[in-house]
Structure 1
């Protein structure tokens, strides 16, 4: 069974490696889990992370992660340390694999082709409401002179409107196009649809955006907190730049 999906949008970008890890089949319910905070064995998690990084041509010690807080803080990889908080991470440095952890929230990976800048973004409904996408692209424009026309983007598998039920507390923040009422005080929320609109509003070209239509809640290939509860695993969405081609190991590719 495949344990990663590699976005097609970056396939022709020399030295750019990107992937979304999948659930896998080992040690149910955690599977190919990437999180140290869900009760899984820490050594298994470390091994899974190392396997993912190695498959893409990076050392496990070059995996840059954040303590995600469902906000709009963007962190440069130069400023990442063990307790760094944020929901987006960017760099123009080769050799770093940027990562965000997800299990229903939308993972967003970006690559500025002209300036060779990569970004990984975590956008749950709170991040979408705060527009972490705009904050990330704004940081890329300010620090690296990014032109959104040159940005390629992958919006990964996440909770989709078919299954993503929310209440008034969430729906009140979004246009009814993205919060479809199904009962009194209950709505189906299209987080990925709103993220796509934000990306286009920031200047990205629709042709440069790969939308993963798969839903983490109803597709068992993915971890889902909404489906599996507290003992669900987490996936990593990763992107980085390397000058070396990765050697394949036993990981399958979807």
Structure 2
């Protein structure tokens, strides 16, 4: 186990991305009761967001487009597993505890997306679906996109069964996402999504993995596999300036 402090803020002139850890996380009860906790208010101040938008995640492929016509905070009011927007000072976020948070930024159209990608979402190609939504709504071009991966279960710990691979057989050559060690198989959702990203035309230099540490073996992060029902959910969020 790695006992290290993780929370990080990626700040540029145009965007702020927040990668949270267990120290500023949400309890499952707060999520179930749709409580906008003080933690979220603190994070909103840190990223300069005037509105906070989260969706009720269900491991599907539906998403939400934020137009800016509603100035209220929206905490779990709509269902979906990705959010896209081109509105400034809107904090769009996902909640995870081993699933992969993916932040998407288009510096040309100044639009953003965020994706909650568990293995079911990965298998259903939610990342590509979110990109397609940005192409439709904002005329995004894939070669302009920047992709940031947050903390998620890593191939050092995320053991899967042989049958698990069948969920991804439609994608062809993705063997790099499945690591074999001592007759055991481990899944790396970041490698899988990176392969999809490159196939979509996203440049390798625009795929960032700095914040993609393993949630299972990093004790400062929330992990369902490690903590089971006691696991809280850490926050990943992007806000446009």
TM-score range, shorter chain: 0.7 to 0.9
2:47 maps to 1:56: yes
Q: TM (normalized to structure 2)?
A: 0.85
User: What is the root-mean-square deviation of aligned Cα atoms in Å?
Assistant: 2.6
Gap regions ≥5 residues in structure 1: 25-31, 243-254
Deviation at 1:151, TM superposition (A): 1.0
Q: TM (normalized to structure 1)?
A: 0.81
Deviation at 1:235, TM superposition (A): 0.7
Between 175-184 and 217-226, the greater mean CA deviation after superposition: 175-184
> CA offsets per residue over residues 127-167 of structure 1, 9 Å max, x none?
11011110011111111110111111101111001100122
Structure 1 consecutive aligned stretches of length 4 or more whose deviation exceeds 4 Å:
38-43, 79-82, 181-184
Contact 2:180/2:186 (8 A) holds in 1: yes
Q: Could you tell me how far apart the structure 1 residues matched to 2:88 and 2:34 are?
A: 28
Q: Could you tell me how far apart the structure 1 residues matched to 2:113 and 2:149 are?
A: 12
Q: Could you tell me how far apart the structure 2 residues matched to 1:147 and 1:213 are?
A: 24
2:160 maps to 1:166: yes
Contact 1:38/1:231 (8 A) holds in 2: no
Deviation at 1:177, TM superposition (A): 3.2
Inter-CA distance 127–39: structure 2 relative to 1 (3 Å threshold): closer
Residue in 2 that maps onto 1:203: 201
Question: Counterparts of 1:63-142 in structure 2 under 5 Å?
Answer: 63-78=52-67, 82-142=76-136
3-state DSSP class of the match of 2:22?
Answer: coil
Contact 1:36/1:42 (8 A) holds in 2: no
Deviation at 1:48, TM superposition (A): 0.9
Q: Could you tell me how far apart the structure 2 residues matched to 1:42 and 1:72 are?
A: 21
Deviation at 1:193, TM superposition (A): 0.8
Question: Counterparts of 1:168-187 in structure 2 under 5 Å?
Answer: 168-174=162-168, 175-181=174-180, 187=185
Inter-CA distance 162–63: structure 2 relative to 1 (3 Å threshold): same
Residue in 2 that maps onto 1:226: 225
Inter-CA distance 40–127: structure 2 relative to 1 (3 Å threshold): closer
